[in-house]
Chains A and B, each alone.
Chain A
């Protein structure tokens, strides 16, 4: 169990994390979501005692991380991908960390094989690809057979096979009863593994919810319509909301596909496509964090169509 209470971090007069409170429970995968710069990494560093909170506190199993006599058995963490001396081999890196807790050599071998690094264990980390570096970070996180695992953007830089490996690993760690907290800025990726979601933006809590609830709150489904006469269709459905993706392609929210089809048929508006779209988690995430992204690009192709 990982708990944050009123967690606040200020650098000078810039507030990176503000009054953040949440609980991460064992046995499930909890996704920690937010746009870049939302304060995810700072929050995770505060949980691990690397950064001191300006206010509030974070605890692991009821105590600050640093107060545990054997912290690596409480939490295993992957923070930045490379927290490794490039001239040391993977095995020596892990062995050095293992010595601090008296973790036996056999455990080092075990996590090397879990991470699929046995063959490169005696190679210097300098030559590792981004994905291998990430695997080494995860091997280090699992070294103490920890009750909780914290992974900051673990799929970054991984190839599809590696991404799949992480998904399976996260689920199996949670199934073993461990607490699993995984940060990401990608909703779609997180939704594949996480049951619970903590969403933050600009250092504040935006949502503490389950994936199911978020889907439900994402609002009604939309219907994709392709027609050569978008103007006429709009005038036929005064209560609907339109988003014109490209000229002639409309995303309609409000009426369902049958209603749109009937209206178009009744007035002879030709339709080339009429496709119901499932509610998008990505969209729900974007809606949630719209006001808190640091850098927003203009989207010149998307015109917000108001009801005609």
Chain B
């Protein structure tokens, strides 16, 4: 009997029995921690960065880490098409959709806690260097814990978008191109357009929303963290809805 729990167990086993998972996860952790320590160690109060949010400064590496974790999301789905493994997976679970949900679930329960723990450790490590500067802060300061959690949620939901793109496009290079072009670069290009309406809409785009979530102090002209979380969650849901519509309808 196929049960959702069993499909999740199968996907969990698949996730941790290939090297690419370890490589992408450890790369993300190393980038976050490494850049955070670098930021902390090189920071000086008179360097002109005093107005930068402490959490944003410490977790600067999460932008790079997010790309590594997005690659993992793409490999989880599109990677199966590269090797034909998807035929074995969908022969074992011919109703198909449980496979997609299980992949998204396994990815989320891996990346979210991992990002959160790494964010907290990075923050605390950076503070070892920052305690005698104007960026000195503690976990109990206003907004700090929320921003650390928000950063982790942002990275995770961006990764779920990548996972959805991988499932919809069924090609690792295709999905990687779509993620870099559509999610990371497109808002930057659109931001150059001289229309106020576009600027307003852009604040709810995935990367901007993730940026809001990861800041302890409110950003000017930005949606509230709650609105940003809702927007990003809707983006991730949409990125899963497309393959969820296509998967049962396409030949494998």
User: 1/0 per residue B70-91: CB within 8 Å of A?
Assistant: 0000000001100111111111
23 A-B residue pairs with Cβ-Cβ distance under 8 Å, sorted by A, are A45-B251, A49-B94, A50-B252, A51-B251, A65-B94, A66-B95, A70-B1, A71-B2, A71-B91, A71-B94, A77-B91, A79-B87, A82-B83, A84-B83, A85-B85, A88-B18, A93-B88, A96-B11, A97-B89, A100-B6, A100-B7, A101-B1, A102-B6
Contact residues of B with A, CB < 8 Å?
1-3, 6-7, 9-11, 13-14, 17-20, 79-80, 83-95, 249, 251-252
Contact residues of A with B, CB < 8 Å?
45, 48-52, 65-66, 69-72, 77, 79-80, 82-89, 92-93, 95-102, 140
CB distance from B64 to the nearest CB of A (A): 24
A98: B residues at CB distance < 8 A: 10
When chains A and B are docked, how far (Å) is the Cα of A87 from the Cα of B13?
13
Instruction: Give me 19 other A-B pairs in contact (C-beta within 8 A), A69-B2, A97-B88 excluded.
Output: A49-B94, A50-B252, A66-B94, A70-B1, A71-B2, A71-B91, A83-B84, A84-B85, A87-B20, A88-B17, A92-B13, A95-B13, A96-B11, A97-B10, A98-B10, A99-B9, A100-B2, A100-B6, A101-B92
CB distance from A176 to the nearest CB of B (A): 22
A93: B residues at CB distance < 8 A: 88
Asked if B94 contacts A96 (CB within 8 A), the reply is no
Asked if A101 contacts B6 (CB within 8 A), the reply is yes
Q: A49-B94, A140-B88 are in contact. Are A69 and B1 (CB under 8 A)?
A: yes
A65: B residues at CB distance < 8 A: 94
Main secondary structure of the interface of B (DSSP, over half): helix
A95: B residues at CB distance < 8 A: 13, 17
A85: B residues at CB distance < 8 A: 14, 18, 79-80, 83, 85
Among residues of B, the one whose C-beta sits closest to the C-beta of A69 is B1
Asked if A84 contacts B91 (CB within 8 A), the reply is no
Among residues of A, the one whose C-beta sits closest to the C-beta of B12 is A99
B86: A residues at CB distance < 8 A: 83
Asked if A80 contacts B94 (CB within 8 A), the reply is no
A83: B residues at CB distance < 8 A: 83-88
Asked if B92 contacts A97 (CB within 8 A), the reply is yes
B91: A residues at CB distance < 8 A: 48-50, 71-72, 77, 79
When chains A and B are docked, how far (Å) is the Cα of A52 from the Cα of B250?
8
Asked if B6 contacts A82 (CB within 8 A), the reply is no
CB distance from A246 to the nearest CB of B (A): 45
B19: A residues at CB distance < 8 A: 87
When chains A and B are docked, how far (Å) is the Cα of A83 from the Cα of B81?
9
Among residues of A, the one whose C-beta sits closest to the C-beta of B251 is A51
Among residues of B, the one whose C-beta sits closest to the C-beta of A140 is B88
When chains A and B are docked, how far (Å) is the Cα of A45 from the Cα of B2?
20
A72: B residues at CB distance < 8 A: 91-92
Q: What 8 pairs between A and B have smallest CB-CB spacing?
A: A66-B94, A99-B10, A92-B17, A83-B88, A51-B251, A99-B9, A83-B84, A50-B252
CB distance from A40 to the nearest CB of B (A): 16
Asked if A80 contacts B13 (CB within 8 A), the reply is no
